[in-house]
Every structure is written in structure tokens, then in C-alpha cells.
Chain A
């Protein structure tokens, strides 16, 4: 019983964060980019609940707007890596044999290279915008998905119902779609959730380094990029709140993923 309640709690929290950021333009008390040089570095007050930054912009408004950017980048990159991962893992797992061996060796090699390094290289040359960032994160984040899809396909291929379908001459696409992919969905869902957390981490890290999303666009990572200097003069609120939002979002995703990862355990604890 307890376990189901906590799962609900984390789902609600994540839902709330998504809701707040999606409707940021309606909910934000100020325009996120409106500067006010009279009010730089003002601590949290009744007017600015979470204070203002070095240009006098309202932290709460930027927090909501920044969340929208961060979550949008993360979601689109996750969708991209999901597609690549399913196709790559699916081909490797379905065909097997030499194709599988070659593809898996390549994947093993790629997984050894820190994806941050790959993204840094491309950022150095292209220095893309917000969607360029999403593209890069998506292109480097599909490896684990591919691995999971492959092992699911290999497992399912041996199942009786798939063998039967093959014997009855069911078209290949129908087997792939209706049998293999459909039955892999729980596993894919879990890995995609964790991927989503990873993508958020990647965006905030890169933007924090000043080489992610262009500084003009507010995102949780960009806010922390400025915060590292603001903290030295004691303006803690600029760093604290975006970090808490990132922490809570990732925490919620991780707990939901954990609960899904092991359905048996969830049932026992009910």
C-alpha cells in the first residue's frame, strides 16, 4: 500500500512541475526577460518571491520559463534517442548473427566515450541554438535504449507466440510491431524515463558550463551559469531555486522509474 502511495506522490509532483512550466507564460508574475536595474540582486520578498538576479529579472518568472525550455529540450531529445535506439536495437536484435555482433561491438565502443565529450566537440564547431542542443543530446543518448531493445527482442524472439506467428507466415512488420515492440514497451518505458533524467542533467550541465543553450534563453542550466558568480557575493537565491527544481524533477523521475523497474516488488509491497 505504502509503495503505491509514494508512486502517486512522485507522479503528482512531476505532473505539477510540468504543469507549472508549460503554463509559465500565464503563471509567471513578471516577464522573464524584463530587466530592472533599480532592483538587482534583491533578496526574496513579497514582490519578488524568489528574488531577482544580476539584471533585476524576477527569479520565479525565469524559473518557470526556464523549466519550459529545459523540459522541452529534454523531451525532444529523448524522443529522438528513443527512435534511434529502437531502430538500432531492433535491427540488431531481430536479425542477430554477424549484423548483431558488429552493431553491438560498435555500441560497446561508443558507450565508452563520455557523451559529454562528443557534445562538447560539436558545440565547439556548430554552437547551435536550443534545438541544436536537443538534437545533440538526442544523438548521443540512444545507446542504452538500443541495448535494452536488443535484449528484449532477442528474448521475445524465442517466445512461443512469436515462433507460431512466424510459422503461420505473419508479415515481418506485423511481428516486429505487434509482437516484439509491443511487448518491449514496459522495458523501453523505464529506460526512456531514466534517459529523460539523463537529458535534463545533460542540458543543465552544458548550459551551466556556458556552452549549452544560448545565454539569452532562460533555462535552469543557464540560470545556474550566472549563479556561480552571484553566489560569491552572497546571492544564494539565484542558485538555490533552479537547483531545487532540477533536483525534484530528477528525483521524481528516478522514483517513478524505480517503481516501474520492478513490478514484482511493487506488488509484494502493496
Chain B
């Protein structure tokens, strides 16, 4: 049984995907040149009249814009994202090659950010006025003021150029046969740059929520009745995690933006780097495809966060107000 709230969130996700698709379709319309050749990709001169005719029909290119949009959307939903104009390969193929890298980077960084921020935020939040409490605020402002890519440049200088212990770029060995160890070695720098620049703000948000929760009436009642600190802390963290998750949801889009830049710096072969490459080389079908995929990634991530919130917060489940 899906509650009204979950349904609402799903509708929201679909609306977002429509907006992203408009954005993507807009590229096709605004891009210079013949749309048919854009979908064909590669060398437009070799395009035969018959092939051109076929593409024109498939995408309704001789019809009004609205029909073109629907035709394009239909093809996109089917998984046909066109052909890269620079590589001459299907866009979906290129994206599928790179998707695992982006998912790996995203899940590893998010995992450490969440674990680290919960630990730091709880320690600091439960000890109001302590050195942890004050220290975390400063730490969070300071680390969130560092441009991630600049920290990345410093890391490269230090760990790759000076010490030579880590590879300066790429997501695997040239032949790609390095196995897990090789993958991890390539992952360390991009991941730690993202973790260091993000863990502070999330920890701080949790810390503030915990402090608010700690001053709630029910906490006073529990303390007065000798409920153990451990069990009180569990309740506080659980309740504070609801606004914290909400904050994660709000900041996920900008986190994706940040990882696009970090992927590019470290030449991490993911969707983010692909998007930037598509912009730089004006490979419009590739750009359209990578934007759509990024949109889907954001929406799916947000939906997962929504489901976790739904599991934690009984008010959402019981249809109460929040």
C-alpha cells in the first residue's frame, strides 16, 4: 500500500523529469545545424537520403514542435538516446559504460559523508557547549568554503606529484585490468575531496537538529524519570534525523553539481565528466543523453531518501501533519 505522501513525491519526481526533458529537448532545437544529422551523429556527409528520411520520420521532424517533442520523448523512454556526433556510437552505449563509475563514486562518498556526519553531529550535538560543539561549527564553515576542485588540485600536487603514491587522474589503469586495488587507488582522491568538503555541513545540520531535539519537553520528562541516557540519545537522534534527511534531499542536486566538477578534475570516467566533455566538444546528442541520465539519478536518489524518511517518521505514515 502506497500512502498519499509517497504518491505525491512520485508525482513530483515525474514533473522534475519532464522539466529536464524540456531542457534536453531545447538543446536539440537550439543546437545549430540539421536535427536529423544531430541524431545520426558521426559524419553527416555520409548520411544517405533514405537514412535521413527514416530519422525524420522517427522523430517527426517535419511535424510541429509539440509532436517532435513527443516523438523524441518516446524514443528516449525506449532507451534510444541517439548517436554521439563525435564518437559515432550510440549515446546509450557510452552512458552505460560510464554509469558504474558515477554510481561507485556517488555511493562511496555518500556512505562516508552520512556515517561521518552522523558520528560528528551526534557527538557535538549531545555535548552542547563543549569543544566538539564549537569546533564542529568552525570546521563545517571552513571546509564548506573550500572549492572542491582546488582541494583536488592540492591533493594531486601532494599525493601524486610530490609523493607519487596515488594516480593523478583516471578511473582505472590504461588497460582497465587493475582489479579492485587499482579501482580503490583511483577512487581515493576524488572521493576524499568530496567527503572533506561536504561532511562538515551535514554534520553541523544534524548537530543543530539534535540540540533542538535535546531541549524538547519529552526529553526532560524522560530524564526526570530515569530513562537511560543511551535510550534517550537513541530517541533524539532518530527524531533529529528527519530534518537531517530532508536537508540531504535539498542538497543532493548541488552535491551532484559538485561531483561533476570533481569527476572532470580527476578525469574520473563517469557521467559528470561526460557531460562536461559533451559541452566542450559540442556533442549535442551526448549532452542531451547525459542530462537525462543525471536527471533520473537525482530523482531516484531523492525518492530513496523520501522512502527512508517515510520509514523513520510515523507522522508521514499515519497521514498526520508535518
Contacts and interface: CB of A to CB of B under 8 A. Distances in A.
A–B direct contact (CB < 8 Å): yes
Interface stretch (B15-23, B43-51, B59-67, B217-225): B15-23
A247 B147 contact: yes
Interface string B275-296: 1101110101001000100110
A117 B275 contact: yes
Contacts of B261: 116, 205, 208-209
Given A231-B161, A232-B168, A112 B141 contact: no
Contact of B156 (A231, A246, A247, A254): A231
A69 B299 CA distance: 35
A209 B144 contact: no
Contacts of B250: 111
Interface stretch (A49-57, A81-89, A119-127, A159-167): A119-127
Given A211-B280, A246-B147, A113 B161 contact: no
A121 B278 CA distance: 10
Contacts of B114: none
A194 to B, nearest CB: 11
Interface stretch (B25-33, B78-86, B87-95, B234-242): B25-33
Interface in B138-180: 141-142, 144-147, 149-150, 153-154, 156-157, 160-161, 168
Nearest to B14: A109
Interface stretch (B120-128, B252-260, B314-322): B252-260
Mostly helix, strand, loop or mixed at chain A's interface? helix
A258 interface: yes
A247 B264 contact: no
Contacts of A204: 147
A243 B153 contact: yes
A118 interface: yes
B191 interface: no
B146 A228 contact: no
B145 A247 contact: yes
A260 interface: no
Nearest to B299: A112
A251 B142 contact: yes
Nearest to B255: A114
A105 interface: yes
B264 A209 contact: yes
B91 to A, nearest CB: 15
Interface residues of A, number: 43
A115 B252 CA distance: 12
A29 to B, nearest CB: 24
A71 interface: no
A60 to B, nearest CB: 18
Contacts of B302: 112
Contacts of A255: 141
Given A112-B16, A114-B298, A224 B287 contact: no
A12 B305 CA distance: 41
A223 B148 CA distance: 15
B15 A105 contact: yes
A238 to B, nearest CB: 10
A246 B295 contact: no
Given A114-B298, A118-B23, A121-B23, A209 B150 contact: no
Interface string B192-211: 00000000000000000000
Nearest to A248: B145
Contacts of B287: 120-121, 124
Nearest to B284: A124
Interface in A219-253: 224, 227-228, 231-232, 234, 236, 239-240, 242-243, 246-247, 250-251
B145 A251 contact: yes
8 contacts: A111-B253, A113-B20, A113-B23, A205-B261, A231-B153, A232-B160, A236-B157, A246-B147
- Cβ-closest 9 pairs across A and B: A116-B257, A243-B150, A114-B257, A250-B145, A251-B145, A124-B279, A114-B253, A239-B153, A112-B16
Given A208-B147, A254-B141, 10 more contacts: A105-B12, A112-B299, A114-B254, A118-B23, A120-B276, A197-B145, A210-B280, A228-B156, A231-B153, A231-B156
